[in-house]
Amino acid sequence: MLNRVVLIGRLTWDPELRYTPNGVAVTSFRLAVDRPFTNQQGERETDFIDIVVWRQLAETVANYMKKGRLVAVEGRLQVRSFENNEGRRIRVSEVVGDNVRFLDRGGDRSGGSGFNQGYDNPGGMSKDRGPSDDPFADDGKPIDISDDDLPF
């Protein structure tokens, strides 16, 4: 009914871009997210959380992200369940990201953050697109609504 996740963490390896048989771009990576407290041994533990992003966002992430980079990820928590080839039931949890923000230096605007951004259409509601069909390509038209446009 509602499923929203927000994470900030560091990439544990370089993301790798793949394509589905239908040509849809998909990138997976793992995020190290430190817990905000220490355990009984006084150690700070870390959750290693798998992220998957699709389409244009997959390509942006693959192009700009590297192991160690700090990112914010928004998305939904997905649990897939299947039987492996030993007949064992396996459950795989991952966050399907629809927004990824780069939080440390990207070499862009003088040490700034968010130099590159990615937005996907949350909830997978966008139609399936091939990799060459950029859903965010600028068509030269304005994409927001001006104040003059407001009815109140």
Partner DNA sequence: TTTT
Q: Please report, as ranges, the residues that interact with DNA according to CB under 7 A.
A: 9-13, 30, 32, 34, 46, 48, 67-68, 81, 89, 109-112
3-state secondary structure of 14: coil
Q: Which of 37, 83, 87, 89 binds its own copies (CB under 8 A)?
A: 37
Confirm or reject binding of residue 115 to its own copies (CB under 8 A): no
| Smallest distance, DNA to C-beta of residue 53, A | 15
Binding partner of residue 89 among its own copies, DNA, none, CB cut-off 5 to 8 Å per kind: DNA
Confirm or reject binding of residue 130 to its own copies (CB under 8 A): no
Minimum CB distance to DNA smaller for 24 or for 32? 32
- Rounded to whole angstroms, the Cα distance separating 101 from 33 reads 15
Q: Which residues on adjacent β-strands are paired with residue 76?
A: 96
Binding partner of residue 141 among its own copies, DNA, none, CB cut-off 5 to 8 Å per kind: its own copies
Q: Which amino acid is at 87?
A: G
| Smallest distance, its own copies to C-beta of residue 120, A | 9
Supply 66's token pair: 């590297």
DSSP 18-70: EE-TT--EEEEEEEEEEEEEE-TTSPEEEEEEEEEEEHHHHHHHHHH--TT-E
- Rounded to whole angstroms, the Cα distance separating 26 from 39 reads 35
Minimum CB distance to DNA smaller for 4 or for 109? 109
